[in-house]
A = this chain, B = another copy of it.
Amino acid sequence: MHRTRVKVVEDALDANNTIAAANRADFDRAGVRVVNFMSAPGAGKTALLERVVADLPGVRVGVLEGDVQGSMDADRLAGLHVPVTQLNTDPSFGGECHLDANMVRSAVPSLALDEIDLLVIENVGNLVCPAEFKVGEDARVMVCAITEGEDKPLKYPLMFRTCELVLVNKIDLLEHLEFDLDRLLYNIDQVHPNVERLLVSARSGVGIEAWREWLLRIAAREEVGV
């Protein structure tokens, strides 16, 4: 029973990888760089996008919004006059907890790839399954809000291990929390030594310039990651 289950999971991930490679080929052909943007619910992904997507000189940004239900984040971003496509994962009972390559593939025709240079895919808020499914991205960014505690890298290691950038968000709240920032950074290094990380606050603006520059590096095809 257990071996069968593992085999089913492996087959599903194999199929996903095949489709992710097809997505990647389409993105490459169109000259579009792609970021898979992930976090727990409420860590601040949309707020961090609102801060930068309309202000990347020379880079036309598009956003693919993944949500179980609704289009609240897409509506927020559309107000910035950025092309946004909504992808909902709820045809089944409670909805899928992640985007997979096939869902992203289904959205590709509506993405107008020839009109953008950088596509940000805002995944479903979840620290587990989104990390398991490639969607055709060039780089992965995850947001870890300090309000979530110092232990998250150790409890959700795959997410931290497979990303090229960790945005440590809500840093403006540091003085109001019993939070050991050094402990969080130490835990990040335990699962992904020296991964690039930025201390940011979507609210106060701290670190936002560095986050903007990181996206410009991605769009310029510079190497990122360790």
Contact = CB atoms under 8 A, between A and B. Distances in A.
Nearest to A149: B42
B42 A128 contact: no
B41 A148 contact: yes
B68 A155 contact: yes
Interface in A66-110: 67-70, 72, 91-97
Interface in A21-57: 40-42
Interface in A142-175: 145, 147-149, 151-152, 154-159, 170, 173
Interface stretch (A2-10, A192-200, A212-220): A2-10
A125 to B, nearest CB: 7
Nearest to A96: B128
A95 B42 CA distance: 22
A27 B177 CA distance: 39
A12 B170 CA distance: 39
Contact of A128 (B70, B95, B177): B95
Contacts of A113: none
A91 B2 contact: yes
A151 B69 CA distance: 11
Contacts of A159: 94
Nearest to A5: B92
A132 interface: yes
6 contacts: A6-B91, A40-B40, A68-B156, A69-B155, A72-B154, A125-B155
Interface of A: 2, 5-6, 9-10, 13, 40-42, 67-70, 72, 91-97, 124-129, 131-132, 145, 147-149, 151-152, 154-159, 170, 173, 176-178, 203
